[in-house]
């Protein structure tokens, strides 16, 4: 059993924020894979279903970002799981928009949601780092992550979310490479060939004529009838 955790802040005020991309990813996975309706549990919104042959729990902590670890820790202890069974989807300032990376363990890099999870379950969980870009100014980070995605972001954002759902089974099975490939196919779909196969038969080049044939072709053709030729002979 695995727990997929999406990080974000609860309520419609924050629903479209960059900081809520983790919530968005879990919503897409739940919709595309037919998970049970969301319900309140473990201080968050909770759903369960199957990815492949494995049972997976989806959890969106509703403690607000800075206390996300409380919700994650409670769910993990209830199911007697370890941090190795936890996969967290979160926004990543240090990746360009549309870029996604999977990382096992490591630091929290100042992300308040990850900081809280570290405090409650330790650092040995898997992170799906979902790039949102950086505003370019450290002082602008807070307002940047708490603003909605721009209209221009809708295309790549939808591709990334759908790609996460496409590759969710691979992620559960521990194949992060296939998971990343699923996202890549959404962002950069393979080109379909638009050229039509040739249907006309290729004509063979005729063999060169023999010398006798060339001579015969060069001589004028006899157009008189046999009777005319006989009369000409005795005229």
Q: Which residues are catalytic?
A: 19
What is residue 130's three-state secondary structure?
Answer: strand
Q: How many helices (H) and strands (E) does the chain have?
A: 9, 7
* CA–CA distances in Å: residue 115 to residues 85, 129, 132, 154, 220: 18, 14, 19, 29, 101
Residue 143 makes CB contacts below 8 A (sequence gap 6+) with 135
Rounded CA separation 81/50 (Å): 17
Torsion of the alpha carbons at 106, 90, 163 and 159, rounded to the nearest 10:
-130
Q: Residue 35: which region, alpha, beta or left (left: phi > 0; alpha: psi -120 to 50)? A: beta
For 64-98, give one letter per residue: b (16+ CB within 10 A) or e: ebebbbbbbbbbbeeeebebebbbbbbbbbebebb
């Amino acid at each position: 059993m695995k727990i997929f955790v999406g990080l974000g802040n609860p309520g419609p005020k924050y629903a479209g924020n960059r900081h809520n991309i983790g919530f968005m990813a879990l919503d897409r996975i739940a919709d595309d894979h037919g998970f049970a309706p969301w319900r309140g549990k473990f201080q968050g919104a909770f759903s369960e279903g199957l990815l492949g042959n494995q049972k997976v729990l989806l959890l969106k902590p509703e403690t607000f970002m800075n206390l996300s670890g409380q919700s994650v820790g409670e769910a993990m202890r209830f199911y007697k799981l370890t941090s190795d069974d936890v996969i967290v989807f979160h926004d990543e300032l240090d990746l360009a928009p549309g870029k996604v990376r999977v990382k096992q363990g490591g630091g929290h890099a100042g992300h308040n949601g990850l900081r809280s999870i570290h405090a409650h379950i330790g650092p040995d969980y898997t992170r799906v780092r979902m790039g949102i870009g950086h505003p370019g100014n450290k002082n602008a980070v807070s307002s940047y992550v708490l603003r909605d995605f721009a209209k221009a972001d809708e295309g790549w954002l939808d591709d990334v979310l759908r790609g996460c759902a496409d590759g969710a089974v691979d992620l559960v099975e521990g194949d992060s490479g296939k998971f990343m490939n699923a996202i890549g196919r959404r962002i950069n779909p393979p080109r379909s060939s638009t050229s039509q196969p040739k249907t006309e038969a290729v004509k063979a080049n005729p063999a060169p004529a023999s010398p006798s044939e060339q001579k015969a072709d060069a001589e004028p053709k006899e157009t008189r009838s046999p009777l005319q030729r006989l009369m000409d002979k005795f005229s």
